[in-house]
Structure 1
């Protein structure tokens, strides 16, 4: 059984859209692309290096795949590029694109079933980076085993959110956390069952 892990950059108001630049995703006239760039530091590099330092394959939405495929094959000797280039990339797409990046595989049209079947195989962990639309499907079908959430100290007001409208309520367990010198809170969470509510009101 393979674990499915999401590695997601978020604003304080929960937006994950276009953290690395305006060219990543301008849907909905989003004009704050690149909001994460100025908060990167050595600690962030170390945490990302640890994430990339274990065997993994990728599960990606089409837009994120195209962004990665346009960049990482050009830096194959980079310590970040090598594991990404060598990983198998499983791609969700509504169309039948040509996937020219090495080790790329198109998922079946029934993405939840295809990912569930993939998780049931032997192999390294499965990492999801970016892929806002795909994550909505994976969350809705309970397929994510671990959330690695990088929360940046910015607010953008609008944009695509990791936990969008219609998400099934539930609890999460914090299993690891750290804070960068620039105030980025990096937390690792695992699903912890149904949401339990209570009240502070006096009886």
Structure 2
């Protein structure tokens, strides 16, 4: 079965929208596109290179596909552009518009079902780039085998992110970590089972604590 990795550039407050440039994705009035640029340096090339230089096919949402297909086929001198041209691009979309980029394949219908079927097929492992809309259904369905989050030291306010509060609770296991010279945290996680729950309390609750709990329970009812 194919493995699926999601690789996310995001701000400290969880925004992943338009890291590459001001014109990349201004939807929703987003005006801070290009926020990752100043934080790239040589120290970040090695951990990110392990992701982008691996052997994979791309899994994309339609908006990210449109961004990539308008840029990378016209930059074949860049090894990433040449690689993206060669590999398969699987695109989740409800649009009937043709996918004109070489080796592009449409996935339609329910996102979780379509990706589960793709993972069961023969072929290279899969990598999500951008494509914020894919994360909510795929995380909820447990279909992402590795989540790579690169956290940049900026706060952006409103913008697209990978979580919307609907995800099922789960623990994650940190399998790789690195902090660049400019403060970018590279964190790779794999599923870690149920959320472990415990308490730091070592004594029986006081009467004041019991009243506090009753008050919270009434307010939450």
TM-score, scaled to structure 1:
0.94
| Structure-to-structure mapping, 1:78-157, within 5 angstroms | 78-157=78-157
2:175 paired with 1:175: yes
Query: Which has the larger Rg?
Result: 2
8 Å contact from structure 1 (residues 52, 83) kept in 2 = no
8 Å contact from structure 1 (residues 49, 80) kept in 2 = no
- Paired position in structure 2 for 1:8: 8
After TM superposition, the structure 1 stretch with the greater mean CA deviation from structure 2, 108-117 or 143-152, is: 108-117
- Paired position in structure 2 for 1:50: 50
Inter-CA distance 22–77: structure 2 relative to 1 (3 Å threshold): closer
- Paired position in structure 2 for 1:72: 72
- SS class of match (1:167): coil
Aligned-CA RMSD value: 1.3
The structure in which a higher percent of residues are helix is 2
- Return the offset for 1:133: 0.9
In 1, the alpha carbon distance for the partners of 2:54 and 2:33 equals 29
| Structure 1 alignment gaps of length 5 or more | none
Q: Give every structure 1 segment of 4 or more consecutive aligned residues whose post-TM-superposition deviation is greater than 4 Å.
A: none
- Return the offset for 1:199: 1.6
8 Å contact from structure 1 (residues 56, 126) kept in 2 = yes
- SS class of match (1:80): helix
In 2, the alpha carbon distance for the partners of 1:76 and 1:144 equals 30
Aligned length: 203
- Paired position in structure 1 for 2:214: none
2:191 paired with 1:191: yes
For 1:161-201, what per-residue CA distance to the aligned partner results, in whole angstroms no more than 9, with x for missing partners?
22222121110000011111111010110011111222212
- Return the offset for 1:111: 2.1
TM-score, scaled to structure 2:
0.87
- Paired position in structure 1 for 2:26: 26
8 Å contact from structure 2 (residues 136, 166) kept in 1 = no
2:188 paired with 1:162: no
